[in-house]
Amino acid sequence: MEMGSFPFFYVAAITFLTALLLRSFLTKKRRRLPPGPALAVPFLGHLPFLKKPLHATLARLAARHGPVFSLRLGSRPAAVVTSAELARECFSSDLDATLANRPHFPSVREVSFDYTVLTLANYGAHWRAARRVAVVHLLSARRVDLMSDAVVARELRALVRRLARLTAGGATARVELKRRLFDLSHSVLMEALARSRNTYSDDGADMSQEAREMKDVVDAIVPLVGVANLWDYLPVLRWFDWRGVARQLADTTSRRNAFIYKLIDRERQKQQAAADKQEEEEQGMIGVMLSLQKSEPDLYTDTFIAALVANLLGVGTETTSTTTEWAMGLLLNHPAVLKKAQEEIDAHLSGEPSRLLDKKDLPHLPYLHCIISETLRLCPAAPLLLPHEAAADCQLHGYDVAAGTIVLVNAYAIHRDPAEWGPAPEEFRPERFEHGGAEGKLMMSFGMGRRKCPGESLAMRTMGMVLGTLIQCFDWARVGDEEVDMAASSGIVMFKAVALEALCTPRAGMETLLQKL
């Protein structure tokens, strides 16, 4: 290149860069972005101003900025939806497919098998294959019926039997419900996944050895992902991992994966040893997927199976047990509601006082269903659902949403919107669901649209049977005079900030039934 060509090169480069900057500026000027907080910190955006719990902070911001508003989360743009009308627009129209992706945060890459678990996979062929397996083979109506009859009922009887031993002779026992409910949910899923029965160190144990192992893994992963969240919005911080979060996540994920692959290997050995081919309904979910692997090995790899198992264990166990814990806390703070639910069960079972309720009874217990619905309204397990991401530029409520924007739907706020739910939406009133009173109102505890949770039927059946049986067999009371603390933690799953403890006493007239278990 001749010396004289350098000035031309510089002029051309500067002209090109100026044109790019001008185009970017004009594009931004032409875009009609949702309103949002004006004050932001360079590089950090609005992150320093978002207090915990996040769903409550976003609800307060919606009161100021409207039903959809913008945030800057470090390097990531976000749009927050906080009205039923806009939620329907997002997931009940053509926009649903555009918003069906998930943001891929660095902190969950290893935990999610490189973003291949069902809940975090992007919308596409892999996600469709995983969801088809979940819906058709694992969580079909027929399989949910079988699980309710064989698995949920059996594990529930075991829980009641352990509580009966603690309260033998009419004694009152102080019980931590969180761990026992987690153990029950875990037991149901383990039996469904691998036909694996939990073992207990003693009859008074509040958790099985297997459930304790998985709970330790879950409890270790959740706070590490929370600590690492700054990576997700400020990638440069990955180079300054002074707290060793990456190493801890890798170690904990390795423990979880070893547990899951052990289940897969054990199920494969059982299949190889079986003389006769088992029907699909007789197999655990892992067995079903290993059978599918024989016909399509490239699709149903061990990693595919492990990712689906990890998803079901992690999400299914925590959400079901947490919602039941919230329901018990609400009932303890509203003893009149608890009494009314017990009276409904007693009246329905008046001709059969010596048996536990089962799945066939649930359609005849409308008030119990109202309690569960009201709990899901006030305490959705995922208060912001799972984050969505725009796959392409689109419009929402007349505003421009750029590709790559994180879309958060605040189910917690929508469920408490007086415009949707009338006066006193923050009060626990199961009666609002009676006689079709909530018909047409938006409930999105299990999500909406393409990414709606496929386990809703199993979760609702399990919660109905568990909650109904606990209040059928025992009287429950607060540990002290003060109301149960209903403060919530901050995170993808809305846990109770304080684990629920309650006083448990056998109900009058239940002695014969409890002794038979």
Question: Which is nearest to 385 in space by CA: 413, 417, 416, 411?
Answer: 411
Q: Which fold has domain 54-516?
A: Cytochrome p450 (1.10.630)
* Contact yes or no for 119/311 (Cβ under 8 A): yes
Order of all β-strands in the sheet with 474-477 = 173-176, 501-506, 474-477
The CA angle 483-485-489, to the nearest 5 degrees, is 165
End-to-end, the C-alpha distance of the chain in Å comes to: 92
Model pTM?
0.90
Q: Is 90 annotated as a binding residue?
A: no
Cα–Cα dist 153/158, whole Å: 9
pLDDT per residue as tens, the chain (517 positions):
443 444 544 444 455 445 545 554 545 557 899 999 999 999 899 999 999 899 999 999 999 999 999 999 998 999 999 999 999 999 987 899 999 999 998 888 889 999 999 999 999 999 999 999 999 888 889 888 888 888 899 999 999 999 999 999 999 999 999 989 998 998 888 888 887 665 544 455 566 677 777 778 877 777 666 555 677 787 777 677 656 777 888 899 999 999 999 999 999 998 888 766 666 667 888 999 999 999 999 999 999 999 999 998 888 888 999 999 999 999 999 999 999 999 999 999 987 878 899 999 999 999 999 999 999 999 999 999 999 999 999 999 999 999 999 999 999 999 999 999 988 999 999 999 999 989 999 999 999 999 999 999 999 999 999 999 999 999 999 999 999 999 998 888 899 999 999 999 999 989 889 988 8
Cα–Cα dist 344/244, whole Å: 53
3-state secondary structure string, 447-511?
CCHHHCCCCHHHHHHHHHHHHHHHHHHEEEECCCCCCCCCCECCCCCCCECCCCEEEEEECCCCH
